[in-house]
Structure 1
Amino acid sequence: MNTIKPQKTGRILIIDDQPENIHVLANILQKEYEVQAATNGAKALEITYGKNPPDLILLDIVMPEMDGYEVCRRLKANKQIRDIPVIFVTVKKSVEDEEYGFNLGAVDYISKPFQPTVVRVRIRNHMNLKLKTEILEKLSLLDSLTNIPNRRSFDKELQREWKHALRSGHPLPVLMMNVDHFKHYNDNYGYGAGDECLKHITEAMNKKLRRPLDFFARYGGEEFVALLPNTDAPGTMQMAEQLRAAVAEANIPHEYSDTAPMVTISIGVATHSQETPKASLEELLMAADLALYQAKEKGRNQVQTDSPI
């Protein structure tokens, strides 16, 4: 009879200069979690900054060269890993010691010598809390109607791609998209039908954005936005036209539109590149918004750009 091994529910890094302490904690935890270990602060930081950072850190305070307080301070100074929970494992039990650790960003203390039940319960509680927090964070970055990234998520991605574009010199195109005459659609077909319309539009455009680099989000209401990092001007316009055509070809009836008998979109394109440098993110977004305004003014259901083709 085959036995089913329990699935491990996270990765824990144990940092302690005494290998026997690491061994004791690992024996307590290894049935439920994947366990990593480091016997000094430098190695611990190397592991945490790596490709597979831990989900939780158990950190001894008294260590040579770099003590636990300094390790914690450096962890919390890094934006990428500062949210990893740190639990101090120590013989230091005074109120002053605990207060100092909590002020550095630790979430809990476990006293030596270890009580296995206490260790398991405290770590399980913090791992569950971290999991729930991560789920809520992911949900906060998704649009609840279309299930694609929302404006908050777009703002974060735009900041990241902007910094990358400045470093690399690669172009960063932004596409601002607006559903034509959507108010008329809602007023005549109802808001429930309007919601379904937005879902169909999202699906139609999502099928065209296939590169891992491409980022597509709902900007708000009937507005959508896309980032096409490292795409030249002709490639950007080609993709924008494909998105416009995809919505039209979805053939969603809209008899109250002044533009076409089906739902259509207008698209404004702006690109930060060596040929058309933008001074700031705000200028890039304003340029895309102005191009969108021009697309509407010139009859809608079309693409306009601020960049030479």
Structure 2
Amino acid sequence: MRNILVVEDSPLVLKILNRQFKQEKNLTSVMCASAGEAQLMLETSSALFDAAIVDLNLPDAPNGEIVDLILSYKVPCVVLTSSYDEQRRDDLFMKGVVDYVIKESQYSYDYVFRLIHRLEQNRKIKIMIAEDSSSARHFIHRVLSSHQYQIVEAQDGEETLKMLEQHADTDLLILDHGMPGIQGFELVKILRQKQKRQDLLILGVSADPKGSLSAMFIKHGADDFLRKPFCAEELTCRVMAMVERRDLTQALRQAALFDSLTGLYNRRAFYAEGGRVLKQAQELQYPISVAVIDLDYFKKINDTYGHSVGDNALKLFSRAFRKAFTDDVLVRLGGEEFGLVSYHSSEVVAERLDRLRRDCQQIAYAEGDITPLSFSAGVYSGIADSVDILLHLADQLLYQVKHQGRGHTLTEQQG
């Protein structure tokens, strides 16, 4: 649970914020109606607050003094105000507020909560600033630090490449074009074409007035471009938009490859990954093992305890399945049927399945006395033209197991 300090004296705004907080399962609010109340709260409990939402015009702090108070305790501060003053906005951004939001509509409040959630996510995001100007580098660093990003810096092209090797987990590169040595869009070409850093977000920046420069950056693989001079608000909006697009793309990729309930590969991804394993095995003339696993009498679990308990059983089995086969390609084929492709022999796979079967006896997928989880499995080891053929042969073995009483594994190796 994350704690948010709210400093606001308007009953109407407090009512709106209270309603919004009730819809947030992972956020709790502490409401203060004045700067004095907020100060008492911060003096005793500042470490408990993940962020603050503040009004600029309070009875005992009419000129935005609350912002200085919040920032002095190093609490990320979102300004939510009904008055717009461009100079004041710029000054507040320079002080390090997260954002300056006008109370205009429900969208304003939704945006504030979107920012609050992003602050938590941003702590896991690393941004590299590649900029030879120390003043520009310091400005970007200060602005992005208020949004809780991890920041690393580089001063020229060669140092940028070295730093990216040291910080391989960098999510976003802010890249100035006019650095000494390797220039901006040349670096983009190296990163995209030679190093294949396709997952690295790249934001090009330059003071060059030519419109063609931004096009060059984009054509060579940059994700966006920002022309100097830019304001703090424009920078944070561009960075947030890039990160959110990346997150959406990753979510779509996750949905396309993985089963939503268990987190295992879906059929499409399984055939792709299994095909890769099979191709390597064919090149080495080395057999691989394919198994098909079916949870025994699973319909009875659903009928007796309900589908939500059945789903929980599938999730817990999948967790144990991953633990038992950490280096293999695992799939939920559908319903209560699972599969794997392994470099190990059928004997090794069968031995691990027996251990998994014993572990399944201890899985508590519902409260009270429950039917222990059990499964049947068929394992075929060999080389074929496709994973589908091997899967079919393993499925035939599974069919024999079911007619022999279930609850054990049958193996066969290509002669």
TM-score by structure 2 length?
0.55
Shift of 1:72: 1.3
More helix by share: 2
Correspondent of 2:378 among 252, 268, 280:
268
Correspondent of 1:130 among 231, 242, 246:
246
Choose 54-63 or 194-203, whichever is displaced more.
194-203
Aligned to 2:410: 304
Unaligned runs of 5+ in 2: 1-42, 48-73, 77-119, 366-370
1:43–1:23 distance in 2 versus 1, CA, 3 Å: same
For the residue of structure 2 that corresponds to 1:54, the secondary structure is: coil
Aligned to 1:240: 353
Correspondent of 1:3 among 32, 37, 46:
46
Residue identity opposite 1:25 in structure 2: I
Unaligned runs of 5+ in 1: 253-260
For the residue of structure 2 that corresponds to 1:207, the secondary structure is: helix
- Identical aligned residues as a percent: 22
1:153–1:110 distance in 2 versus 1, CA, 3 Å: same
Correspondent of 1:26 among 120, 138, 141:
141
2:128, 2:172 within 8 Å by CA — same for their partners in 1? yes
1:152–1:308 distance in 2 versus 1, CA, 3 Å: closer
Residue identity opposite 1:303 in structure 2: T
1:193–1:134 distance in 2 versus 1, CA, 3 Å: same
Residue identity opposite 1:29 in structure 2: L
2:281, 2:288 within 8 Å by CA — same for their partners in 1? yes
For the residue of structure 2 that corresponds to 1:174, the secondary structure is: strand
Alignment of 1:19-168 (within 5 A): 19-32=134-147, 33-50=149-166, 52-77=168-193, 81-155=197-271, 158=274
Q: Matches of 2:209 and 2:282 in 1, distance apart? A: 49
Q: Matches of 1:163 and 1:40 in 2, distance apart? A: 43
1:162–1:180 distance in 2 versus 1, CA, 3 Å: same
Shift of 1:140: 4.1
1:87, 1:108 within 8 Å by CA — same for their partners in 2? yes
- By relative contact order (CA 8 Å, sep 6+), the higher-ranking structure is 1
Question: Cα RMSD (Å) of the superposition?
Answer: 4.3
Shift of 1:77: 3.3
For the residue of structure 2 that corresponds to 1:210, the secondary structure is: helix
1:203 aligns with 2:316: yes
Higher alpha-carbon Rg:
2
2:346, 2:412 within 8 Å by CA — same for their partners in 1? no
1:213 aligns with 2:322: no
Give the count of matched residue pairs. Answer: 290
2:174, 2:203 within 8 Å by CA — same for their partners in 1? yes
Shift of 1:290: 0.7
Aligned to 1:295: 398
Residue identity opposite 2:143 in structure 1: I
